[in-house]
Amino acid sequence: MSSLHQVNPNIAADYVEVGRWLQSFATSHAKRENDHVEVEVDTAGPRAGRSYGLRLHLAGRVAPPASAAPIELTFTEVADGRTRFAWCAALADRVRATTRALLADASAGRRVSS
């Protein structure tokens, strides 16, 4: 698998750059629901160069919870998808829905994860 992906013939995007885009995109949509939500994009271990694991954090709570898999996105999926409106809209909806669930959990006083 190549660590370089071309959005158009003149602009190459590597794994790190695509990860930064994902971090920024997810953060902007999560913060539309609540300014205090933070986004973690995991790129370590077996994900390095291949995929991203996305989790949202708020006041010691995590979504998806640590006991569950994060939102998993492959490098190719994000690199290709970031240029397509429908894909971006679907990811934005997913991030915002996860954020709303995290907020509901926080307001109910339940603990999702430490």
Residue 24 has pLDDT above 90, yes or no: yes
DSSP E strand stretches across the chain: 4-8, 11-14, 38-42, 51-58, 61-63, 71-74
* Long-range pairs, 6-12, Cβ under 8 A, ≥24: 7/79, 7/82, 7/83
Domain residue extents for the chain: 4-108
Tell me the C-alpha distance between 30 and 97, whole Å. 9
| Residue found under tokens 């609540």 | 34
For 42-75, write each residue's pLDDT tens digit: 999 999 999 999 999 998 899 999 899 999 999 9
> Considering the entire predicted model, what is its pTM?
0.83
